Structure formats: C-alpha cells, structure tokens
C-alpha cells in the first residue's frame, strides 16, 4: 500500500475572501486516499502564505520526510496553488521531493510529470497564482499611491498621532497632544542648534517620548509632522511631497530648518555639545582666563560630601567653586531685570523702534529675497520646459530637474510663510519678550541645567569670561544690551554716579560689552 502525507494550506485572507477551509480540503484529500487505497501517514495543516517555502509547517514536514526517505510515496494537496504561488520555488521543491523518492500531486489538477508535455500544464498551474499575486500587489501599490497623492496617510500612525476612522469608514490620523508636544519640542531643540540630535532624543525620552535612536531619526526626518505626505519615486516619476489631509504638528519652516541642520546645510550647523548636570549649568560655556579653553566641571569627594568645581583640563589648573560662580552669574542676570519706571519706555519705544529700524526691514528684505529666488527658479524651470518641448533634453533629465525645482520652491514658500507670520505677530512677540525678561530670576532658579544653558545662550551668544570675581562677554544680545543701558542710566540719574557705572575694566580684547557683577 502506498503511503502519503496530506498537506492542507490556507492563509487567513484566502479563508476570509474566498471561503477556503482547511476542513474542506482535509475531507477531499481523505476521500481521495480512501478511493485510491492510499494510507495516510499524517496530515499537515498550514496557515501561512505560499509566496515562499519558508513556512513553519512545511519546514517541519520536510525534516520528517528526509528522516523517512524511501518510505513515503506521495505528498497530496488539493491544487497546485496550495503547494506554491511561486513557479521558480515550486520547481526547486519538486526536485527536492523527487530526490527523496516522493511525488507531489494535486488531486484536483493531477499531472503525470513523467510525460514531458504535462510540464506545460504544470507551468500554467504554477504561474497562474503567481500572476494573481503580482496583480493583487500591483493594484495595492497603485491604490496606496493614489491615496497618498490625495494627502491621506497610509499605515500605522507615527508617534504624535493615532489612527482613527470617520463615521463613513474613512481612515485618518489625529493628533495626540501629549505626544505631539514632545515631538514639537524635539524639533525646536534641534532647530535651535544647542544640542546634538541624539542628546535631544535622550532628553525627550526623559520627558516621556520613549523611542530608540533609529526610530527618533525617522521621526525628525518625517515630513508628516509638517502636514506633508511623501510620494516615493516610482518608475519614471520622481519622489515629491503633497499637502496631507491631516493636521500638522510643526510648521514647514521648522521642518526644513531641521532638515538643513541635519544635512549640514544650515549656517552654524552644530556638533555635539557638552551635557551638564544641574549643579554645573555653566560647564563648557566659560572661557578659562589663563589659557582660553572652555572650562569643564566635575564633583570632588570631600570628607563628608561632594563639592562641585568648574576647572580647566589644561596644565594651567584653573579652578572655581561652582556655587559662588553660579551665584555671581545669577546676580548678573538680575541686573538685566527691567525697572518699573523703564517698562513703558522699553516696550513702546526701544523695542518698537528697534523692530521698525532693524528687524522689520530685515524681514521685509528676506521676503523680497525669497520671492526673487522663487521667481528665478520658475524662470529656470520654464527654460528647462522649453528645452524639453524642443527635444533638446530627454524626458528623464527634465523630470529630475523639475522635481528638484519643486522641492526648492516648497522650501522657499515655507520660509516665506514664516517671515510673513513674523510680521503679523510682532505685538504678541514683544509682549512675551517683556514678560520673559521680567522673570529671569525665577527661570534661573526653577530651570534645570538644560533650561539654564538655553537661557545663557540666548542672552550671551559670544564667549563668557570669568576671572573668579567678574563676568565679561565679547558679545551680548542686542535687546538685553538696551535693557542694561537703560537701567544703568536710571541708576546713574538717581545716584549721580554715571562714570562709576560705565567705567568697567576692559580685559577682553576686541569689541565687547562687559557685564555688571555682584559687587556693583
């Protein structure tokens, strides 16, 4: 009596879409063996796709068949698409089974493979399901591409969003504000250029983002957060972005700013910055008075506790206690607090005048430059189009150049939007600036080292010098400089000590603004 293994396979989608059933296949195979007097050795049930032979149940079956080489005659299945949906893999597996003395056979599509002409029918039976799979995959790809072009996000929502379905059954992604706030914060941190991207990721994880390095890089490269959907390159069509139907978490300007920094195109592109513990916020920001290097910081163990110091790693051995150094800097910040009698002058005259004479013309000039650049790109694109129509250039070259121009125009338009928003929101921004300056001492006391370092960088873009008693800087934020001058003049008027206020020792070479100290 011949011996056979029965192979019953159905994938989940086939069972749902076509009504295939493992029980039905089993019954037909069992009945066939009874009619043909074939003994069933075992029945193998598989719930896996037939695109390849890397299927758990088939792998186990093949191991068992190798152990029983010469003792099994057939492997039965209902149709050839139950065996495989890949013609190349199927021919290879048929040869493997034949070396074991086993004949694979579909009971509803029987073929005597010893007859050469039957191989044509075998090729048809094997190729048909493969063609069907390929057609289904192509339809799916084209459908997803068409949906993306309409601005719909496909797949599992990225962090900051969640998948939802409308009442009429349409899928979309909606913002999860708790996560979106962390994503927005991460983009803003990278755009500021204070910290390297991986440090921003670690800080975001501490705040609750919880994502690995590889996924974080996908996040900060993902145009979805700027309200865009990426259409990938396909055949002759170049990759490009379209407006999404979902709500953006960040602005296009911020997104492109981050991309430029990550690509190294932005001015002042940064490298990794030093991370400070909360008791050493000035670490890496103070210049050594002896050798000109940046002071680092660390804790030294005493008899009963640890003591923090700012120190130089060079041979000069410069060393300052952290607590009085931090306190002296706090006194410097307090001197920039706007006095009540100067509040109206500063808000209505100094800041407004500075904006009208400096910032506004600069913003307007930037807008003109952006519009000029957009117009220049459109002119070049028009010339390229004319060359294409006159057959001076081929279609692939024209499409590549067109895609490149569209990306450049999209970036410039986002910058134009940012510049326009800056002009519209000036009153709100001025009010926020005044409130922030009024709370400098509060911010310094409540911020962690990261917040303090951001505060320092915004106030003092130049190097900070400290000799153990006095702070000086080569460059001061222009708005903060105005506050200091107004406060100094008001104190001078009250105390009639104008010369004493402004005659600071000049120990830093070059143009500088010297900061007031706790001794003043």
397 and 452 part of one domain: no
Strands 38-46 and 2-9: parallel
239 assigned to some structural domain: yes
Whether 386 is in a domain gets the answer: yes
Q: At 39, give phi and psi (nearest 5°).
A: -85, 135
Question: 150 lies in a domain?
Answer: no
- Residues 278, 268: contact at Cβ < 8 Å? no
One pLDDT digit (tens) per residue for the chain, 520 residues? 899 999 999 875 555 445 457 888 999 999 999 999 999 999 999 988 888 899 999 999 999 999 999 899 999 999 998 898 888 888 899 999 999 999 999 999 998 888 888 888 888 888 887 787 778 888 888 888 888 888 999 889 999 999 999 888 888 999 999 999 999 999 998 888 767 788 888 889 988 988 888 999 999 999 999 999 998 888 777 888 889 999 999 998 899 889 888 887 554 444 444 445 668 888 888 889 888 888 888 888 777 777 888 998 888 888 899 889 988 888 887 776 666 655 665 655 555 665 666 555 666 667 788 888 888 888 888 888 888 888 888 877 888 888 888 888 888 887 777 666 555 555 566 666 666 666 777 777 777 777 777 777 777 777 888 888 888 877 766 666 666 665 565 555 555 543 333 333 333 433 344 444 433 3
Say whether both 228 and 329 belong to one domain: no
CATH number for 190 = 3.90.1750.20
In a domain, 496, yes or no: yes
Beta bridge partners of 45: 8
The pLDDT, as a whole number, for residue 219 is 94
Q: Are residues 21 and 105 in the same domain?
A: yes
- Which of these, 419, 402, 413, 417, lies nearest to 373 by C-alpha position? 413
* Statement to judge: residues 113 and 216 lie in one domain: no
Q: Are residues 308 and 245 in the same domain?
A: no
pLDDT of residue 505: 35
Q: Are 131 and 141 in contact (CB under 8 A)?
A: no
- Residue 267 is assigned to a structural domain of this protein: no
Q: Note whether 360 and 481 are same-domain residues.
A: no
What pLDDT is attached to residue 457?
75
Q: Which of 243, 259, 275 is the last residue of a domain?
A: 259
* Predicted local distance difference test score (pLDDT) of residue 434: 66
Residues 192, 304 share a domain: no
Examine the domain organization and report whether 311 and 368 are in the same domain. Answer: no
Q: 252 lies in a domain?
A: yes
Helix, strand, or coil (residue 250): coil
Instruction: Compute the distance between CA of residue 46 and CA of residue 60 in angstroms, rounded to an integer.
Output: 11
Look at residue 501 in the predicted model and tell me its pLDDT: 34
Same-domain check for residues 49 and 97: yes
Structural domain contains residue 16: yes
- pLDDT at position 138, please? 83
Q: Indicate whether 324 and 226 sit together in one domain.
A: no
Supply 191's token pair.
């755009």
Domain with 32, as residue range(s), is: 2-136
Q: What's the pLDDT score for residue 490? A: 55
From 86, 116, 136, give the residue that closes a domain: 136
Q: What is the CATH number of the domain that holds 108?
A: 3.40.50.1390
The predicted structure's pLDDT at residue 507: 37
Helix/strand/coil for 225: helix
SS3 label, residue 465: strand
CA distances (Å), origin 186, targets 215, 270, 403, 442: 13, 15, 29, 24
φ/ψ of 94, rounded to 5, equals -60, -45
Considering the domain architecture, whether residues 44 and 121 belong to the same structural domain is answered as yes
Which pLDDT score, from 0 to 100, does residue 515 have?
A: 46
Domain assignment present for residue 148? The answer is: no
> Last residue of a domain, which of 240, 259, 278?
259
Contact 93, 84 (CB under 8 A): yes
Helix, strand or coil for residue 295?
Answer: coil
- Please count the structural domains in the chain: 4
Pair (95, 197) in one structural domain: no
Residue 76, helix vs strand vs coil: strand
Please, which residues have CB within 8 angstroms of residue 107's CB and are 6 or more apart in sequence? Answer: 28, 29, 32, 76, 77, 78
Q: How are strands ordered across the β-sheet holding 306-311?
A: 296-301, 306-311, 319-321
């Amino acid at each position: 009596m011949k011996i056979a293994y029965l192979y019953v396979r159905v994938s989940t989608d086939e069972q749902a879409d076509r009504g295939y059933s493992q029980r039905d296949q089993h019954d037909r195979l069992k009945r066939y063996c009874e009619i043909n007097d074939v003994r069933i050795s075992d029945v193998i049930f598989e719930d896996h796709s037939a695109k390849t032979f890397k299927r758990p149940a088939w792998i186990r079956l093949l191991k068992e068949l190798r152990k029983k080489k010469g003792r099994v005659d057939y492997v039965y299945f209902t149709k050839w698409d139950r065996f495989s949906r890949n013609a190349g893999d199927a021919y290879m597996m048929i040869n493997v089974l034949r070396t074991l003395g086993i004949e694979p056979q579909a009971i509803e599509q029987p073929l005597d493979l010893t007859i050469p002409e039957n191989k044509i029918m075998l090729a048809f039976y094997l190729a048909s399901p493969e063609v069907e799979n390929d057609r289904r995959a192509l339809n799916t790809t084209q459908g997803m591409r068409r949906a993306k072009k309409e601005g719909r996000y496909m797949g599992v929502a990225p962090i900051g969003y969640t998948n939802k379905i409308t009442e009429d059954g349409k899928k979309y992604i909606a913002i999860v504000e708790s996560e979106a706030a962390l994503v927005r914060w991460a983009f803003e941190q990278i755009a500021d250029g204070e910290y390297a991207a991986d440090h921003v990721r670690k800080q975001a994880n501490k705040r609750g983002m919880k994502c690995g390095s590889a996924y974080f890089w996908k996040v900060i490269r993902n145009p979805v957060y700027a309200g865009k959907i990426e259409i990938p390159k396909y055949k002759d069509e170049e990759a490009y972005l379209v407006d999404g139907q979902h709500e953006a978490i960040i602005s296009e300007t911020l997104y492109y700013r981050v991309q430029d920094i990550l690509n190294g195109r932005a001015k002042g592109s940064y490298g990794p910055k030093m991370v400070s513990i909360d008791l050493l916020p000035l670490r890496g920001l103070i210049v050594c008075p002896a050798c000109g290097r940046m002071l680092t910081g660390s804790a030294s163990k005493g008899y009963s506790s640890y003591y923090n110091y700012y120190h130089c790693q060079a041979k000069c051995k410069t060393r300052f206690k952290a607590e009085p150094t931090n306190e002296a800097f706090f006194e410097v910040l307090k001197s920039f607090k706007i006095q009540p009698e100067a509040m109206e002058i500063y808000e209505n005259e100094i800041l407004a005048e500075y904006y009208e004479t400096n910032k506004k013309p600069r913003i307007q000039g930037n807008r003109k430059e952006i519009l000029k650049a957009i117009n220049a790109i459109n002119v070049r694109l028009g010339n390229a189009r004319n060359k294409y129509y006159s057959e001076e250039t081929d279609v692939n070259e024209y499409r590549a150049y067109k895609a490149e121009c569209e990306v450049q125009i999209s970036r410039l338009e986002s910058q134009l939007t940012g510049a326009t928003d800056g002009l519209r929101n000036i009153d709100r921004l001025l009010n926020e600036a005044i409130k922030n300056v009024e709370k400098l001492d509060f911010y310094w006391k409540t911020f962690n080292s990261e917040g303090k370092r951001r505060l320092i960088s915004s106030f003092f873009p130049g190097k900070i010098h400290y000799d153990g008693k006095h702070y000086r800087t080569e460059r001061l934020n222009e708005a903060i400089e105005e506050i200091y001058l107004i406060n100094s003049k008001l104190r001078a008027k009250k105390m009639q000590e104008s010369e004493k206020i402004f005659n600071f020792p000049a120990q830093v070479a070059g143009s500088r603004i010297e900061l007031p100290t706790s001794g003043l």
